[in-house]
């Protein structure tokens, strides 16, 4: 992962590759080379990035609009793009407070510039694998009251933690910390047990030394004993889509998702 405070233009960044796949401009040639592997060697895979960004927006909107929760911690937030978490949350709850966390220093620089005039947001450079550092950071304690419900966002980040780094322990830390009435949102690469999954996983492992697709059962287990809300852990395209839960073809029949759309899932859970 990225060294604190150092931007290396010759070393690819997960956040910047994701930015490139979403059509952003905050990336280097080394990031574009990795992104182009997905674009050209795995046609159709770019839909994963867009589908994940869209479901994140729907989840934040649902939390801010329907639950009364006004505090958000977005871990592994990536580079700022259109309709960021704070923009969606504050659209529905103007007093919402958001702390963004990413380990890439370029995210810190761009995020602080974007949020300079928004007193209810902060950006922290920290590693998801050090949750104590995040929880006790002065910017976190300045905005987040852990005696009140919190929404913890883990969007497309846990699959970058290998098994020996214990992603379950990372999620358990936040599940145990937040009070009753809090929410955890997770989106995660899902093992399809097919050639596409194997190739995409291999690219991440070769490039970053990390990347772990997990089964439906493994992803559900991350929520522990929290109350998993409808529609459960499902492909992101089917998680509360604006136009209803079913995708229809031109003949009125159900249109099956592409293999790529099936390779990323999402779920939202509430702590009783």
| 7 within a domain of the structure (yes/no) | no
Residue 227 lies in a domain: yes
What are the structure tokens assigned to 229, written together? Answer: 């809300």
Per-residue pLDDT of the chain (272 residues; tens, 9 = 90+): 444 456 677 888 888 887 888 888 888 898 898 888 888 877 777 888 889 999 999 999 999 999 999 999 999 998 777 789 999 999 999 999 999 999 988 888 877 777 777 899 999 999 999 999 999 999 999 999 999 999 999 999 999 998 999 999 999 999 999 999 999 999 999 987 778 778 777 777 777 767 788 999 999 999 999 999 999 999 999 999 974 444 434 444 445 788 888 889 999 999 99
Instruction: Tell me which residue range forms the domain holding 33.
Output: 14-242+250-270
- The CATH number linked to 74 is 3.40.50.150
Domain-located, residue 199: yes
Whether 3 is covered by a domain: the verdict is no
Whether residue 84 is contained in a domain is answered as yes
14-21 helix and 46-66 helix, angle to the nearest 10 degrees = 100
Would you say residue 2 lies in a domain?
no
The DSSP code sequence of 28-91 is -HHHHHHHHIIIIISTTTHHHHHHHHHHHHHHHHHHHHHT---EEEEET--S--SS-HHHHHHH
Is 21 strand, coil or helix?
Answer: helix
Instruction: Check: CB of residue 33 under 8 Å from CB of residue 10.
Output: no
3-state secondary structure of 154: strand
pLDDT computed for residue 50 by the predictor:
87
CA 159 – CA 51 distance, rounded (Å): 16
Residue 216 in any domain: the answer is: yes
Query: In whole angstroms, what is the distance from residue 112 CA to residue 70 CA?
Result: 21
How many domains does the chain fold into?
A: 1
89 domain residue, yes or no: yes
């Amino acid at each position: 992962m990225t060294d604190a405070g150092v931007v290396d233009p010759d070393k690819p960044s997960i956040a910047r590759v994701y930015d490139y796949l979403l059509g952003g401009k905050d990336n280097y040639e080394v990031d574009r080379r990795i992104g182009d592997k997905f674009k050209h060697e795995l046609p159709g895979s770019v839909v994963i990035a867009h589908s994940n960004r869209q479901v994140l927006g729907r989840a934040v909107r649902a939390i801010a609009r329907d639950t009364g929760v006004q505090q958000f911690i977005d871990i592994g937030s990536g580079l700022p793009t259109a309709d960021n978490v704070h923009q969606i949350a504050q659209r529905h709850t103007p007093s919402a407070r958001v702390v963004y966390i990413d380990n890439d220093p370029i995210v810190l620089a761009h995020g602080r510039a974007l949020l300079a005039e928004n007193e209810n947001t902060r950006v922290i450079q920290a590693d998801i694998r050090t949750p104590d550092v995040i929880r006790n950071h002065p910017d976190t304690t300045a905005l987040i009251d852990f005696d009140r419900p919190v929404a913890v966002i883990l969007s497309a980040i846990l699959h970058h933690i290998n098994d020996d780094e214990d992603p379950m322990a990372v999620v358990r830390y936040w599940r145990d910390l937040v009070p009753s009435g809090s929410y955890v949102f997770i989106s995660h690469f899902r093992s399809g047990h097919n050639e596409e999954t194997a190739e995409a996983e291999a690219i991440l492992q070769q490039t970053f030394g990390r990347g772990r697709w997990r089964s439906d059962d493994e992803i559900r287990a991350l929520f522990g004993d929290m109350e998993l809300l409808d529609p459960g852990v499902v492909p992101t395209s089917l998680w509360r889509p604006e136009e209803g839960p079913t995708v229809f073809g031109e003949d009125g029949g159900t249109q099956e998702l592409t293999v790529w759309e099936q390779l990323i899932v999402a779920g939202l859970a509430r702590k009783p």
